[in-house]
């Protein structure tokens, strides 16, 4: 069972996708991640992008904790349908679901940058592909000092951070590693 940990929808149960590639973030890991984010005031009032959203648990947790807007992206029709049902269950009107691949979504021009981005790809996703997604995010997809959170297997190597994304920390929770990086715009790096 997956549930919303805290906030306005705290305790509500979420449906999880039954797809082969879907691996929901455990409640324990989500609680740890959001404790870290709440301590940084990185959720309330922020624009959040959840890439490889699956059931939408990370994005919906952010919405429950006061995110201004959340966009859930996944290429699996089954996952997006599950996410849509979860959005309805928790009653979050400021959550949008989009059925498309991450790369196709990032290939378009954003309306404005996001403040917090989750990348929780299937563990088998090749590291070079993850690096391409991080490079595509870098720039106009991210607001100044946006936080990027990457969830991977604890056995995975460190993501290849493009210039403009400065790794902050790694935390391990059993088989899961959580990497965080902050966006440092070119104007600040110069």
Residue 16 clears pLDDT 70, i.e. is over it: yes
Query: What is the average pLDDT score of the chain?
Result: 91
| Whether CATH 3.90.1150.10 fits 2-189 | no
Average pLDDT, stretch 143-172? 94
Exposure class string for 34-60: b at 16+ Cβ within 10 A, else e:
bebbeeeebbeebbbbbbbbbbbbbbb
Confidence of residue 188 (pLDDT cuts 50, 70, 90): low
What's the pTM? 0.93
Q: What is the pLDDT of residues 110-154, one digit of tens each?
A: 989 999 999 999 888 999 999 999 999 987 899 999 999 999 999
* CA quadruple 120, 28, 182, 65: dihedral sign: positive
Q: Mean pLDDT, to the nearest integer, of 4-13?
A: 92
User: Where along the chain do its domains lie?
Assistant: 2-189
**Closest-CA residue to 84 (of 69, 102, 101, 96):** 96
pLDDT in tens, 49-68: 999 999 999 999 999 999 99
């Amino acid at each position: 069972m997956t549930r919303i940990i805290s906030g306005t929808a705290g305790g509500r149960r979420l449906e999880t996708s039954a797809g082969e590639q879907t691996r929901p973030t455990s409640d324990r890991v989500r609680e740890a991640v959001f404790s870290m984010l709440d301590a940084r005031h990185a959720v309330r009032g922020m624009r959040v992008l959840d890439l490889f959203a699956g059931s939408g648990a990370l994005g919906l947790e952010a919405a429950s904790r006061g995110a201004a807007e959340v966009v859930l992206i996944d290429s699996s029709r089954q996952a997006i349908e599950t996410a849509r049902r979860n959005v309805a269950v928790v009653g979050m009107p400021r959550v949008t679901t989009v059925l498309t691949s991450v790369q196709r979504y990032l290939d378009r021009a954003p309306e404005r940058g996001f403040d917090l981005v989750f990348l929780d790809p299937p563990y088998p996703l090749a590291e070079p592909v993850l690096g391409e997604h991080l490079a595509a995010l870098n720039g106009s997809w991210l607001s100044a000092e946006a936080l990027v959170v990457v969830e991977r297997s604890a056995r995975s190597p460190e993501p290849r951070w493009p210039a403009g994304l400065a790794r902050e920390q790694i935390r391990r929770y059993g088989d899961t590693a959580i990497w965080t990086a902050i966006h440092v715009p070119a104007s600040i790096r110069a």
